[in-house]
């Protein structure tokens, strides 16, 4: 966590509520490979990053829940014992959902002041929502004296986002935020929730976030439609493949054999999933052996599949990916997050960061009349309380 975020979060808490509190932080993430397969039971390779969400939390003597965010103007003062539904809450649906879930699980909570600040661009595809959820769960559990292991925080965050907030996502984002490890990718099996960590050749890798300067909200439109289209394909395939509990269980050969059962659109969505599952399986070995050229090729194929089969890319994201691959210092690049806007991720040689960034920024500005924000990312930390030095 950057010291400037710590300072900003505490200053915001004092301006919002007139007092300080205990400071907690949870990381955002970038996903090296495994686009839109976590909610289909696939394996993914996310990395927790040093940008994320900080929350300053303080208990209250009454039963009020007060929430404020440095990123959104709306503030909320709620009755802890009569929390409203997500539809009326805007951004605060995420922390309110955590509080509601902990209470539903039988935990006694005090009144709370929660002040949020972050250095993740909202809606950019770096999982700001999961970071908010994990940070809130970590903070509220600490103040209430609840023992909450990181994996339990991840599962709670997933439950809140899918049920209370209503985003039909998978487990990758909260698990990456809660279980990330410096210098490693999280190898997460989204069907079984088993995971381990893959050591990365970090001396040869630099991660750059390439911001397309466009945003999206997952609860609206395109994302949930992709979920419906791909799960619709699964439902038809299950009639002839009863062993398939999710699209991860369907092989490319089985998909081709039963293509006549699907509409063209359903086949495209399913084709992306089953080929992406296979790419991730190959990618782990390349990373473990330090074969970054081969890994970069899989990133390129993943982007093409996300663009043409799952149709979640945009002209700006495509331009960032193409400009990245035009530089000889780039190992690979692809859109990250759900798409529909947000960011691309480029993996480059550390000695190429500056010339790479200059070329990509200039090329993007020439096409769109706007310079992209380009940020170097470092590895994140486990969620928890931050003790200021």
β-pairing verdict for 373-377 and 384-385: unpaired
**Cα separations (Å) of 339 from 124, 125, 319?**
9, 7, 13
Residue labelled with tokens 């924000």: 373
Residue 142: DSSP 8-state: H
- Point out which residues pair with 68 in neighbouring strands: 115
**Catalytic residue set:** 173
State how far the Cα of 142 lies from the Cα of 148, in Å rounded to an integer.
Answer: 8
SS3 content of the chain, % helix, strand, coil (to 5): 45, 20, 30
Q: In whole angstroms, what separates CA 25 from the centre of its chain?
A: 15
CA dihedral 300, 306, 308, 312 (to 10 degrees): -140
Residue 250 · residue 244 · CB < 8 Å: yes
State how far the Cα of 96 lies from the Cα of 62, in Å rounded to an integer.
Answer: 17
Nearest to 22 by CA among 135, 180, 164, 188: 135
Which residues, other chains included, contact 272 with Cβ-Cβ below 8 Å and sequence gap of 6+? 35, 36, 305, 306, 309, 310
């Amino acid at each position: 966590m950057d010291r400037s975020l710590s300072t900003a979060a505490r200053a915001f808490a004092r301006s919002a509520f007139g007092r300080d509190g205990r400071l907690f932080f949870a990381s955002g993430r970038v996903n090296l490979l495994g686009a839109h397969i976590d909610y289909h039971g696939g394996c993914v390779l996310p990395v927790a990053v040093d940008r994320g969400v900080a929350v300053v939390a303080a208990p209250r003597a009454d039963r009020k829940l007060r929430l404020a965010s440095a990123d959104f103007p709306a503030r909320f003062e709620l009755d802890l014992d009569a929390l409203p539904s997500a539809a009326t809450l805007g951004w605060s649906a995420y922390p309110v959902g955590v509080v509601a879930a902990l209470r539903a699980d039988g935990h006694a909570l005090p009144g709370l002041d929660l002040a949020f600040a972050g250095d993740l661009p909202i809606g950019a595809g770096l999982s700001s929502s999961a970071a908010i959820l994990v940070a809130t769960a970590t903070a509220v559990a600490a103040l209430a004296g609840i023992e909450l292991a990181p994996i339990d925080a991840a599962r709670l965050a997933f439950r809140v986002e899918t049920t209370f907030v209503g985003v039909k996502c998978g487990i990758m984002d909260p698990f990456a935020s809660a279980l990330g490890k410096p210098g490693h990718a999280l190898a997460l099996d989204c069907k079984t929730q088993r995971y381990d960590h893959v050591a990365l050749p970090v001396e040869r890798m630099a991660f750059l976030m390439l911001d397309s300067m466009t945003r999206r909200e997952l609860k609206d439109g395109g994302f949930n439609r992709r979920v419906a289209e791909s799960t619709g394909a699964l439902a038809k395939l299950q009639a002839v493949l009863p062993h398939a509990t999710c699209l991860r269980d369907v092989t490319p050969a089985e998909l081709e054999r039963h293509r006549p059962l699907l509409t063209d659109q359903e086949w495209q969505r399913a084709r992306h999933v089953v080929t992406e599952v296979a790419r991730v399986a190959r990618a782990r070995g390349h990373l473990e052996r330090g074969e970054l050229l081969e890994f970069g090729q899989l990133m390129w194929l993943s982007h093409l599949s996300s663009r043409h089969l799952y149709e979640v890319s945009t002209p700006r994201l495509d331009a960032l990916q193409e400009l990245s691959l035009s530089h000889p210092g780039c190992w690979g690049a692809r859109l990250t997050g759900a798409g529909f806007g947000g960011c691309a991720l480029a993996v480059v040689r550390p000695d190429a960061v500056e010339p790479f960034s200059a070329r990509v920024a200039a090329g993007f500005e020439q096409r769109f009349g706007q310079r992209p924000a380009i940020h170097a990312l470092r590895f994140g930390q486990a969620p928890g309380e931050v003790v200021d030095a």
